[in-house]
């Protein structure tokens, strides 16, 4: 049976003899691996249609219970051109793709893979329409953390429930009140940082315009969320190391001496 299915390419790996293995998140089947034979040859007609972080239509012989298939054809439906041309957006997209790929198993619950498909598609669209790469990444990471039950608790002190909070503790899983922060030896955060972190953790991608008004950058929030993922899910998150190193700040407000210390 020659199946045609729409999917988003999360990852591309070289494979023997000019072949590549694509990790594709399908709307219909969840995450599958497709082997594209000869795809690295100049003459391959599939070559230009298997770029990571694009949406395409793929044909292969689907069989239930299998997770790896031989790809026959690929046809790009959505290239997300700006996403690929913009360094910040492509770095951020690589982080989200790595996180989704790590959490989403082949053969996962359809509702979860469906959720991941929609999130990744929505995030790619947001990056492609020039929304700030760091803000889109922060909101998307929170979304994935929520699906894993490891999102930060930003409603109260995670240790005693006090609603007056003074610090963010990655190890404890969210906000701490002043006295718990002192006991745990966690340094206080500025109120604006606490507010920004809470805002990011409550937002969805549909709230991007509001977030962009409220905060110039979400880099510090991205750093914290990456630490949450490393600490509570044990992912190395190599793509985030690259994101941190290469990201170029372009936000409208960059006070040279705001007194905010780096690396909250």
Cα 170 to Cα 25: distance, rounded to the nearest angstrom: 30
Which is nearer to Zn ion, 182 or 233 (by Cβ)?
Answer: 182
Q: Are strands 30-36 and 68-78 parallel, antiparallel or unpaired?
A: parallel
* DSSP for residue 121: H
Cα 64 to Cα 61: distance, rounded to the nearest angstrom: 10
Cα 234 to Cα 191: distance, rounded to the nearest angstrom: 29
Beta bridge partners of 68: 33
Q: Which listed range, 34-42, 110-118, 122-130, 151-159, lies at the site for Zn ion (CB under 5 A)?
A: 151-159
Asked if 86 and 112 touch (Cβ cutoff 8 Å), the reply is no
What minimum distance in Å lies between the beta carbon of 181 and Zn ion?
Answer: 8
Which is nearer to Zn ion, 67 or 164 (by Cβ)?
Answer: 164
Identify residues 221-240 at the interface with Zn ion (CB under 5 A).
Answer: none
Among 24, 104, 137, 159, binds Zn ion (CB under 5 A): 159
SS3 34: strand
What minimum distance in Å lies between the beta carbon of 228 and Zn ion?
Answer: 19
Q: Is 154 in the site for Zn ion (CB under 5 A)?
A: no
Q: Is 123 in the site for Zn ion (CB under 5 A)?
A: no
Q: Is 180 in the site for Zn ion (CB under 5 A)?
A: yes
What minimum distance in Å lies between the beta carbon of 30 and Zn ion?
Answer: 41
What minimum distance in Å lies between the beta carbon of 187 and Zn ion?
Answer: 15
Cα 194 to Cα 199: distance, rounded to the nearest angstrom: 9
Which is nearer to Zn ion, 123 or 180 (by Cβ)?
Answer: 180
Among 177, 196, 199, 229, binds Zn ion (CB under 5 A): 177
Task: Find the angle CA(225)-CA(157)-CA(215) to the nearest 5 degrees.
Answer: 45
Q: How many residues lie near Zn ion (CB under 5 A)?
A: 6
Among 91, 123, 157, 194, binds Zn ion (CB under 5 A): 157
Q: Would you state the structure tokens that stand for residue 115, as one six-digit string?
A: 């959720």
- Helix, strand, coil percent values for the chain (each to nearest 5): 40, 20, 40
Q: Which listed range, 104-112, 157-165, 194-202, 235-243, lies at the site for Zn ion (CB under 5 A)?
A: 157-165
Nearest by Cα to 149 from 233, 80, 45, 64: 233
Among 106, 156, 162, 212, binds Zn ion (CB under 5 A): 162
Question: Which residues of this chain interact with Zn ion, rule CB under 5 A?
Answer: 157, 159-160, 162, 177, 180
């Amino acid at each position: 049976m020659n199946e045609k299915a729409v999917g988003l390419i999360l990852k591309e790996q070289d494979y023997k003899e000019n072949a590549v293995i694509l990790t594709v998140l399908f709307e219909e089947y969840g995450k599958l691996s497709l082997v594209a034979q000869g795809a690295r040859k100049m003459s391959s007609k599939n070559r230009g249609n298997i770029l990571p972080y694009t949406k395409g239509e793929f044909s292969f012989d689907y069989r239930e219970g299998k997770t790896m298939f031989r790809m026959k054809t690929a046809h790009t439906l959505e290239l997300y051109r700006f996403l690929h041309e913009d360094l910040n957006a492509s770095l951020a997209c690589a982080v989200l793709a790595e996180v989704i790929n790590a959490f989403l198993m082949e053969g996962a619950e359809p509702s979860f893979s469906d959720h991941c498909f929609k999130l990744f598609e929505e995030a790619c669209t947001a990056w492609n329409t020039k929304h700030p790469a760091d803000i889109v990444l922060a909101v998307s990471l929170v979304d994935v953390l929520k699906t894993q039950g490891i999102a930060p608790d930003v409603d109260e002190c995670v240790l005693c429930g006090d609603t007056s909070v003074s610090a963010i503790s990655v190890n404890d899983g969210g906000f701490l009140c002043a006295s718990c922060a002192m006991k745990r030896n966690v340094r206080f955060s500025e109120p604006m940082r606490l507010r920004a972190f809470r805002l990011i953790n409550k937002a969805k991608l549909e709230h991007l315009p509001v977030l962009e008004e409220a905060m110039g950058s979400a880099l510090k929030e991205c750093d914290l969320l990456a630490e949450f993922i490393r600490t509570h899910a044990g992912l190395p998150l190599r793509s985030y190391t690259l994101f941190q190193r290469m990201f170029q700040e372009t936000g409208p407000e960059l006070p040279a001496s705001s007194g905010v210390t780096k690396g909250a």
